């Protein structure tokens, strides 16, 4: 499975559990560490943990390995390393403080910027 397919699995997993302000960013040209960064806002520490577990399960169900997971105990910022994809799950104040999108001057991958909108009634 390539990194693009893995990033799509990650985005779908966080969308299913109502992750907010989902950004999938292609960083292949900026770093050799990973190909994509996915940044997601959660509503609480419990929500962040649930998002991390959802991604963990989805990735394993797809036959891929999770390289590592950091921050689950503090749960203001959980990082999930999937090799070709790095997932940042953050509470809103932490995301605003670090502002990873602006810090790295990322370009969003076409068609995958999935800002969550209010569901229509």
pLDDT above 60 for 117: no
pLDDT above 90 for 74: no
pLDDT tens string 44-65: 999 999 999 999 999 999 999 9
Phi, psi of 58 (to 5 degrees): -60, -40
Mean pLDDT of the chain: 86
Catalogue all structural domains in the chain, each as residue range(s) with its CATH number: 3-104 (3.30.460.10)
Confidence at residue 75, expressed as pLDDT on a 0 to 100 scale: 78
Q: Is 61 helix (H, G, I), strand (E, B) or coil?
A: helix
Confidence category of residue 1, pLDDT binned at 50, 70, 90? confident
Of residues 104 and 54, more confidence is placed in 54
Query: Looking at the whole model, is its pTM more than 0.85?
Result: no
* Residues of the chain above pLDDT 70, percent: 85
Of residues 100 and 9, more confidence is placed in 9
Of residues 110 and 103, more confidence is placed in 103
């Amino acid at each position: 499975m390539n990194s693009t397919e893995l990033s799509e699995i990650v985005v779908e997993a966080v969308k299913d559990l109502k992750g907010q302000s989902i950004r999938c960013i292609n960083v292949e040209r900026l770093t050799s560490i990973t190909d994509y960064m996915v940044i997601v806002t959660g509503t609480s520490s419990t929500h962040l943990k649930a998002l991390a577990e959802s991604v963990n399960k989805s990735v394993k169900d797809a036959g891929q390995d999770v390289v590592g997971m950091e921050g689950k105990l503090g749960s203001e910022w959980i990082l999930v390393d999937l090799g070709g994809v790095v997932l940042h799950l953050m509470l809103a104040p932490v995301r605003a403080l670090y502002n990873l999108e602006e810090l790295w001057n990322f370009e969003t991958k076409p068609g995958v910027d999935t800002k969550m909108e209010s569901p229509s009634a």
